Structure 1
Amino acid sequence: MTDVTARRQDTDRFYALLDELAERVGGPRRLYQCSAASGWPPHGVYFFFQDGETRADGARPRVVRVGTHALTATSRTTLWTRLAQHRGQISGTNPGGGNQRGSIFRRHVGYALLASGDWPSEIAQSWPKTHVTARQRQAESPLELAVTALIAAMPLLWLDVPDRDIRRKIEANSIALLSRRIGGIDPPSPTWLGLHAANDKVRSSGLWNSNHVDDEYDPAFLDDMDVCVTSHRQSSLP
């Protein structure tokens, strides 16, 4: 069996597991539909899709980001709090706002929007900075709103994975399997927004990820993923 054939079979198995997961949770959700009270497991791995992005066959949705949370012993971040950081605010005092300095996903998307649209130069100057003034944060608000609108509309699947080491393994190997930088078989569409990202690893991997995109994957992670999918409880999300 060639490496390409093995990778294709492993990729097909990966997506078959996501299909099974989708059946268990009632299909993908979009974050603008969800809240903290939507019945999330405490810990997990999440898989984002994006409208218009399909696998090479043109028929099946393509994963565009994989992520997890709480990979250190001291972290108390839950699955929902991490997803909420990516999504931004839907209501409250700043509806649609967000903080890209707390989410590398938001930062990647913001850079791509900056490169593909007509935005004030003040935003382009402050977006890369770690620390900004309150005035600069306010000036960035239109871009944060656009980032929230895009991420909150992305279809999402989530997998209940209580064990920290297994979460790390599934996240890292899923990214490595899918990354175009090291042989991933499903290319992004010519119009994928990520092709405008500032980070070359995002542009060339076809994923809104920059970590693990140059790693070799271990196909054994699919067995761990299979166990987690099989044990994933039926979702109570609306």
Structure 2
Amino acid sequence: MTDVQRRADTDRFYGLLETLAARTRLPRLRECSAADSWPAHGVYFFFEDGETRTEGNRPRVVRVGTHALTERSRTQLWTRLRQHRGNVGGTNPGGGNHRGSIFRLHVGTALLNSGEWPAVVRAGWRLPRAGAEVRLAQHELERAVSDHIGAMRLLCLPAPEREQRRAIESNAIALLSLIRGGVDPPSPRWLGRHAESLAVRTSGLWNVQHVDGRYDRAFLDLLGDLVEG
């Protein structure tokens, strides 16, 4: 794959997203709720303030995600997005559960590495389980994660078939990742530069899977069919 071809494929990818955005919403995640008209299944693309493509005037995708990729999974699109967004009300408003969202986990490690946080928060953040005392201590960090992710805009593409979602997610990540030649690096101030995960820091994405893969250009035809459909 030549640099010229990759840039052309990346431009085509963003052109298709612009077509999709022109006829749908591009809300901030914190503005979203179950009352919105979400497709049952789809692929989502996150955009972060201050993160633009190389030419500087078009937003770049910072995370690609989907859901329900196994036959047994019944998770719907909004359920997954709600896990990333965190809590709106309840006993811990503004918080969330980074143990149920790898996206929240990575944003949290970046915030930990770029700020001052108590030792109990640092020590417990990476644990797969935690008691009530640790979870309470982590609430302020969970709120900071919710604030950061909640400010991101997102674009959702309906994709009813599991293999459609799998192909678009994996190939879009591979196309955009800097590890194998992605053309749009993050800004110097991108929070992901402080993430604990090397995959996040070197790919320029809040993703860890597929960032070192090779993309199949045929996925752009599938993406185009779903956007135009």
Q: TM-score, normalised by structure 1?
A: 0.95
Q: Would you say 1:156 and 2:154 are equivalent positions? A: yes
Q: What is the match of residue 19 of structure 1?
A: 18
String of CA shifts for 1:130-167, please: whole Å, max 9, x gaps. Answer: 01111001000000000001111101000000010010
1:36 aligns with 2:34: yes
CA distance in 1, matches of 2:93, 2:138: 14
1:3 maps to amino acid: T
Corresponding residue SS for 1:51: strand
Instruction: Give the root-mean-square deviation of aligned CA atoms.
Output: 0.7
Matching residue's letter, 2:12? R
How far off its partner does 1:23 sit?
A: 0.8
Query: For 1:25, what is the secondary structure of its paired residue?
Result: coil
> Paired residue for 1:130?
128
**Aligned residue among 164, 167, 170 for 1:169:** 167
Is structure 2 residue 89 aligned with structure 1 residue 101? no
**Correspondent of 1:120 among 118, 129, 136:** 118
Structure 2 counterparts to residues 71-90 of structure 1, below 5 A: 71-90=69-88
- In the alignment, the residues of structure 2 paired with residue 129 and residue 21 of structure 1 have an alpha-carbon distance, to the nearest angstrom, of 39
Q: How many pairs are equivalent?
A: 229
Partner of 2:6: 7
Question: SS in structure 1 opposite 2:90?
Answer: coil
Alignment-derived partner of residue 60 in structure 1 = 58
- In the TM superposition, 1:210-225 aligns within 5 A as 210-225=208-223
Instruction: Give the letter aligned to residue 49 of structure 2.
Output: D
Q: Report Cα offsets for 1:25-72 as digits up to 9, x if no partner.
A: 04x111111111100000000000000000000110010000000001
Counterpart Cα distance in 1 of 2:211 and 2:29: 25
Runs of 4 or more, structure 1, over 2 Å off, are none
Residue segments in structure 1 that go unaligned for 5+ positions in a row: 232-238
* Shift of residue 93, structure 1, vs aligned partner: 2.6
Per the TM alignment, residue 91 of structure 1 is displaced from its structure 2 partner at its CA by: 2.0
Long gaps (5+) in structure 2:
none
- SS of equivalent residue, structure 2 residue 89: coil
